[in-house]
Structure 1
């Protein structure tokens, strides 16, 4: 991956983080303030932010759903950068094995799903097309390194079992949520979506970017 290839600019697929960014009901909203001004310090402005780790575009860690699960700093960074395939599944009400068997996923290491939910960062959706357990197992059998979605969760928003999270994490598949994919066509891309090195954290905001592949594929 030649990150400096200026002939193929990177496309930001991250939600902007500001006071209007929607957050999980009852969770900590994002806020930013200039805690110290240049006038006060004599040299620099210093900002301070407060946020849930699951606001905006973010990666989940197994510790998010399992007290004994790995934290975000323990995950393999290679899952979050490399070849990815964007697939439009906006006609599907659930993300199950039957759906995935209709898609061209041969050789896919990282799968980014464009669902029926519009990319509106300021609105928290009432419902999402959820990943079923058989769908999660099918993706794991493909050897998927990462699954990304353009909604706040791969599970139903009211789920307490969060079975899809458990299934993917138990099979070593990383999870990205709240991507912005509406304006991108289906196809293969290079992806960079690195989480922050937050010790012991259950997730992390990411700056997710993609760009179409050159004529020749490479991983």
Structure 2
């Protein structure tokens, strides 16, 4: 069944004046659409500038055959893909390392003692190690004199041109340099899609995981990449307990690492940017990020 929305709108401009429209009809996906999505669509479709308040009035959903492609969330011309795992109380990211403790510092019930009636707040308390969930490694994680998170420029964290390298774990666990040859790599975020994230939060995830080989790390460093991410438990072979050549090579070259990515199957091989921004911690070499891709 097709649905359309019929509505009026009023647009106010920040520099004075405004415009109105009556009985607009648009094709939509599903049985409803939020007012703010309609407002963003009107502003974008009409190429309006200096827009202030937008009122959507007399909205009615009707069953009517679509006349063009339906709209959904068209507030921007881009699509954002979340590449981060959810962190929750008790999550085990690495075997042998403690899970995060997430609880109330101030509960809503307790806050009622300090605020007006029907006004409550929650202040959370988190106790965790920095290697939790989807996280970013910077040079200080490996090297005492390396840059910590407070010293990493935003240009190395935000809107990096990305490329996905497909390396299905069912074919091989060791991802060597040949996977990266004949690709445009320099200055890019290299995201290695193994599919291992399907085992997230299971015993299988932390055992026999896919990883990059030393020659792959050296090849990427020689090619001048900016960041390397993987949807696996570790970018190194953790069965080799006393050595971490991939971390050592990449972080020595100030190439950032993001581990425990997910949803890389949702990305095209190219044509997107990648962002992964941690808080600006001094004296910390790794911390959880909200990693994302932006497809224009």
Aligned match of 1:50: 127
SS in 1 for 2:102: strand
Aligned match of 1:38: 108
Quote the offset at 1:64 in angstroms: 1.9
Aligned match of 1:88: 166
Instruction: Choose which of 174, 188, 192 in structure 1 pairs with 2:275.
Output: 192
2:29 paired with 1:29: no
Q: What's the TM-score, normalizing by structure 1?
A: 0.86
Q: C-alpha separation between the residues in 2 aligned to 1:26 and 1:46?
A: 29
Instruction: Choose which of 245, 251, 262 in structure 2 pairs with 1:163.
Output: 245
Alignment root-mean-square deviation, CA: 2.1
- 8 Å CA contact retained: 1:36, 1:45: yes
Instruction: Choose which of 252, 258, 278 in structure 2 pairs with 1:176.
Output: 258
Quote the offset at 1:22 in angstroms: 2.9
Aligned match of 2:218: 137
2:153 paired with 1:76: yes
2:179 paired with 1:99: yes
Aligned match of 2:44: none
Aligned match of 2:58: none
Aligned match of 2:232: 151
Deviates further, 5-14 or 190-199: 5-14
Quote the offset at 1:36 in angstroms: 1.1
Quote the offset at 1:153 in angstroms: 1.3
Higher share in strand: 2
- 8 Å CA contact retained: 2:210, 2:237: yes
Q: What's the TM-score, normalizing by structure 2?
A: 0.65
Q: Which has the higher contact order (CA 8 A, sep 6+)?
A: 1
Instruction: Choose which of 6, 10, 13 in structure 1 pairs with 2:83.
Output: 13
Q: C-alpha separation between the residues in 2 aligned to 1:106 and 1:207?
A: 23
How many corresponding residue pairs?
Answer: 209
1:147 to 1:38, Cα distance in 2 relative to 1, 3 A:
same
- 8 Å CA contact retained: 1:88, 1:115: yes
1:50 to 1:120, Cα distance in 2 relative to 1, 3 A:
farther
Where does structure 2 lack aligned partners over 5 or more consecutive residues?
A: 1-73, 116-120
Where does structure 1 lack aligned partners over 5 or more consecutive residues?
A: 215-219
Report the structure number with the largest CA radius of gyration. 2
